[in-house]
Amino acid sequence: MARQEANRWWLVFTGSYTPADREGIETLLFDAERGELKRLAGCGGVANSSYLAFDEHRYVLYAVSEHGEGEVAALSVDRATGRLALINRQPSHGRSPCYVCLEPDGSRVYVANYMGGNASVYPVREDGGLLPASDTVQHAGSGVRPDRQEAPHVHSILNDPSGRYRIVCDLGIDRLMVYRTSPDGKFEPAGAIHTTPGGGPRHLAFHPSLPLLYLLEELSSTVSVYAFDAERAAGELLQRVPMLPEDFKGANLAADIHLDPGGRWLYASNRGHDSLAVYSVGPDGLLTFIGHASTGRTPRNFVPVPDGRHLLVAAQDDNRIDVMRIGPDGMPAAVGEPYASEKPVCIVMTPAPPELVSEG
């Protein structure tokens, strides 16, 4: 963490809702000292690259393609230029893939398929390319909201802090499904956490040191705090906090959730209210609402910079990425000029390699 806190230069990748003939994945350089983003390269050929994951050891970027029957692509990253080159791609085995993550050791890639209502797992080759899926797990059921919960809708898949489990948020059935992965790459059910009916679990984040998970519920615009028991793969609801002002009457869909690197603040994005809801995190991990920070339109995704001083926010419908500086009270505020980007919907980052920049 000390190295990250001192780091000035960050390599940033962005995904977008753009067709394959556009350079929908961009490589940017973030200067944390100036709070500025600069374009290094762009890559086409992956339509609607709505979620990304980066393997910092192999220097490979994984991107879902939310187009047609759905795909996931592996792209190599040139350390000296940031340019991307396609290694290979595989079918996602479910429509509307919307999330991708790596197993902690980089041996497998996982994809969540929203319309497919399922999740797939892929072994990773030595060069970072993807082998055919070793398994796809299909969910079943529905929720209480017939307009959005007529069927399972898997929205994200995340490792728990121990790396033993994959936790799958299913918006359509109001459930977090917990899986182990067998040595031969099969999903093994380990548990299930039933969430608030009609809430629509979308994304989650873990506390950096306490056995707690923070669940963002898209349909109810709520953050729920759960105690997570890793021995039983079970959760207990501790707290629910709203993301919207009481007097807000407009339409809103909650989108993304992250804690700052130190676990002091939690941020959750609102599409409609167009804001970040900001909470302080107590010693027990429970949340206290602080305020709202205004963003561009439709902040579908954002990322805390590991320096603990900035957030990068993808404002999808304003075609821009905002740089926000975090104040001592945890409240972020925009700094400088936004970076113009077509329909950005995902941001991932890593320390810039020495081949790319020199801090001297």
pLDDT tops 60 at residue 215: yes
At residue 6, the pLDDT reads: 61
- Percentage of residues of the chain with pLDDT beyond 90: 96
Give yes or no for residue 32 having a pLDDT over 50.
Answer: yes
- Which pLDDT does position 357 carry in this prediction? 81
Residue 245's pLDDT is 98
Task: Give me the mean pLDDT over the 184-203 stretch.
Answer: 99
Q: Which residue has the higher pLDDT, 357 or 157?
A: 157
CATH of 2-351, one of 2.130.10.10, 1.20.120.1230, 2.40.30.170, 3.40.91.50: 2.130.10.10
Mean pLDDT along residues 71-83: 98
Rounded to two decimals, what is the model's pTM? 0.97
Q: What is the mean pLDDT of residues 154-161?
A: 98
The total of other beta-carbon atoms located within 10 Å of residue 235's CB is: 24
**What number is the average pLDDT over the span 42-67?**
98
Could you read off the pLDDT of 263-317 as tens digits, one per residue? 999 999 999 999 999 999 999 999 999 999 999 999 999 999 999 999 999 999 9
Cβ within 8 Å of residue 20, ≥6 positions away: 44, 45, 46, 47, 67
- Mean pLDDT, to the nearest integer, of 27-35? 97
| pLDDT > 50? residue 1 | no
Q: CB neighbours of 194 closer than 8 A, spacing ≥ 6?
A: 174, 175
Q: What confidence score (pLDDT) does residue 313 get?
A: 99
What pLDDT band is residue 3 in, cutting at 50, 70 and 90? very low
**Burial profile 270-282: b = 16 or more Cβ within 10 angstroms, e = fewer:** bbbbbbbbbbebe
The percent of residues in the chain predicted with pLDDT above 70, rounded, is: 98
Average pLDDT of the chain to the nearest whole number: 97
User: In which residue are the tokens 């990068």 written?
Assistant: 312
pLDDT for 287 equals 99
CA distance 289 to 243: 9
Cα dihedral 279→282→288→293 (10° resolution) = -20
CA distance 264 to 335: 21
Domain range list for the chain: 2-351
Chain centroid to CA 17: 15
Residues 158-168: pLDDT tens digits?
A: 999 999 999 99
Q: What is the mean pLDDT of residues 221-240?
A: 98
pLDDT by residue (tens digit) across 116-132?
A: 999 999 999 999 999 99
Tokens of 176: 């977090």
Read off the pLDDT of each residue in 131-158 and give the average, rounded to a whole number: 99
**Nearest Cα to Cα of residue 217 among 161, 156, 165:** 156
Tell me the per-residue pLDDT of 338-348, one tens digit each, with 9 for 90 and over. 999 999 999 99
